[in-house]
Amino acid sequence: MTSRVNTADYIWMGGEIIPWGQATVHVNLLGHSTVSAVYEGIKAYWNADKQQLFAFRLDEHVRRFMDSVKMVRLNCKYTPEDLRAAMLSLVRANKFREDCYVSPLIYETGIIRSYAHPNLSRPTEVVIDTWSFASQMTTERAINCCISSWTRISDNSSPNRIKCVSNYHNGRLASLEALINGYDLPIILNDRGKVSEGPGACIFIVRGGKAITPSVTSDILESITRESILQICREVLQIPTEERDVDRTELYVADEMFFCGTWWEVTPVASVDRLPVGNGSMGPITRAIGRAYHDIVRGIDTRYEDWRTPVW
């Protein structure tokens, strides 16, 4: 059976917008060139009433991309302004008038025979891909999770703070284990035994009316959605927040729980290790946060204007 692959007409590579199928590299780049590669994942949301598409927190994503590039010691020939403009022009070239995902990736080029090079002297290239991505927000889907038997990589081994492709093997192993055992998504504990995050999303629990999330020193990616939700809780919904260590067993007694991230948006958790979270469906605080986030990313709620970059 063949599945329909969701690709756009155009991709950005080496400073140009070219047909998607023409963006090829030499086979020698398979392997070591991806050890240091870093990327970003950005979402643009369509507002049907205004006939406008808004890229959500584009500048913060570009900033994190450049921070990642710096930390893996790659040399990027494009400025943040170049990348920002490239992403907007690519989405426009694809004529997207629907929700879509935008993903820049930087990787080493040349002849690659080793992963350890004085990277700043090594050539790199950037490719930016985009594809349509239907939002799951407001569907009330809830997922079943487990605590992974894998431990989160730590800041002093392979820092989660950055979006380095290599980091994702840890999340991949945890995801495969969860899926094989009949769960939707794993929750990964760090090497101190505290909750870190999911393979591609951060975690919030709700206890006693407070929204609680592991702190940025819990071996998590510094998620832009997490940061936005903390601000929305405090400023829009008047929900108190806490950023601190979260124990595994707090998940079992939480009133509500959800994952958040560009890809996962606000996704409620129905159960952890087969123990129901609350009554096993989306709770009222999660629903309120999801609704507020949805309205802000689409520009239905016009507050936080600087979070939305109009594509058109």
**Residues interacting with ligand PMP, by CB under 6 A?**
41, 197, 200-202, 221, 223-226, 261-263
Shorter beta-carbon distance to ligand PMP: residue 66 or 201: 201
- What lies within 8 Å, CB to CB, of 100 at 6+ separation is 8, 43, 44, 53, 91, 94, 130, 131, 132, 133
Least distance to ligand PMP, CB of residue 15, Å: 25
Degrees, nearest 5: CA angle 78-227-234 = 145
Shorter beta-carbon distance to ligand PMP: residue 125 or 197: 197
Least distance to ligand PMP, CB of residue 121, Å: 29
Shorter beta-carbon distance to ligand PMP: residue 199 or 299: 199
3-state SS, 5-66, equals: CCCCCEEEECCEEEEHHHCCCCHHHCCHHHCCCEECCEEEEEECCCCEEEEECHHHHHHHHH
Least distance to ligand PMP, CB of residue 88, Å: 19
Shorter beta-carbon distance to ligand PMP: residue 41 or 310: 41
- What lies within 8 Å, CB to CB, of 137 at 6+ separation is 265, 266, 290, 293, 294
Least distance to ligand PMP, CB of residue 18, Å: 26
Least distance to ligand PMP, CB of residue 111, Å: 30
Location of structure tokens 């929204």: 211
Tell me 195's DSSP state. Answer: E
Least distance to ligand PMP, CB of residue 96, Å: 19
Residue 138 structure tokens: 């407001």
Shorter beta-carbon distance to ligand PMP: residue 11 or 187: 187
Closest by Cα among 67, 78, 85 to 125: 78
Cβ–Cβ under 8 Å, residues 238 and 289: no
Cβ–Cβ under 8 Å, residues 202 and 289: no
Shorter beta-carbon distance to ligand PMP: residue 261 or 278: 261
